[in-house]
Amino acid sequence: MTIINITLPFGIIKDISDYSRFINEILKYDITLNILKFSTGSNGINLLIDIPEDKIKTITESLRKSNIIVNKKGRVFIDDEKCVDCGACISLCPTDALHLDFEERLEFSYEKCIGCLLCLDSCPRYAIEEM
């Protein structure tokens, strides 16, 4: 399973029928998915979903046709000057993008980050910044 971040930009969903259309769009591919996080922000509605690796392409293409943003790439970076290698962010990271290396120093794997931003306000040194 792989985690992707879906953003429904502000204005796309106006009523319940828009919701149904969006959900049906996903359901028609018969994909088991776990919704990990549902949040609203100034950019719209964000859904963090866990889907089978081999369905990513299908679902991404389908959603993008409806102007829904699908993101797999990382969205934060770590300021090494500020970081004190404590680990307060690690337990919040659902994909181990933030982890300790063999020396117990904080290491960030950009390709694993799915941009959930849960870590953003966990850093006591303000060393995690949104890109």
Partner 1 sequence: MTKTYNEINEKIKNGDIVVVTAEEMVKVVEDKGIRVAAEEIDVVTTGTFGPMCSSGAFLNFGHADPPIKFEHLWLNDVHAYHGNAAVDCYIGCTRMSDVRRFEYGGGHVIEDLVSGKPIRLRGNSYTTDCYPLAEVDTEFTINEINQAILCNPRNAYQRYVCAVNSSDKTLYTYMGKLLPHFGNAHYAGTGSLSPLSNDPDYETIGIGTRIFLGGGIGYIIGEGTQHSPSDQFGTIFVKGDLKQMSQEYLRGVTYEKYGTSLFVGVGIPIPILNEGLAKKTAISDKELLTDVVDYGVPRRGRPKLKQVNYEELKSGFIDLNGKKVKCSSLSSLFYARRIAETLKKWIQGGEFFLNPPAERLPTETIFIPMKQTSKLKFVKDLKRDAIICYDDCDLKTVAEKIINQNMNHIIITDRNQNLKGIVTSFDVTKAIAKDKTDLDEIITKKVIVTTDNEPIDVAARKMKQNDISALPVIDEKNKVVGIITSEELM
Q: Which residue lies nearer to partner 1 by CB, 23 or 86?
A: 86
- C-alpha distance from residue 121 to each of 12, 74, 84 (Å): 28, 16, 15
Q: Name the nearest CA neighbour of 40 among 78, 77, 17, 10.
A: 10
- As measured in angstroms, the least distance from the Cβ of 120 to partner 1 is 9
Rule CB under 8 A: say whether 9 interacts with partner 1. no
How many residues bind partner 1 (CB under 8 A)? The answer is: 20
The residues with which 12 forms a beta bridge, in sequence order, are none
Q: Which residue lies nearer to partner 1 by CB, 93 or 113?
A: 93
Q: Which of 13, 90, 107, 112 binds partner 1 (CB under 8 A)?
A: 90
84 φ, ψ (degrees, to nearest 5): -115, 20
Q: Site residues for partner 1, window 112-131 (CB under 8 A)? A: 118, 121-122, 124-126
Q: Name the nearest CA neighbour of 35 among 49, 24, 46, 55.
A: 49
Footprint of partner 1 (CB under 8 A): 84-93, 100, 103-105, 118, 121-122, 124-126
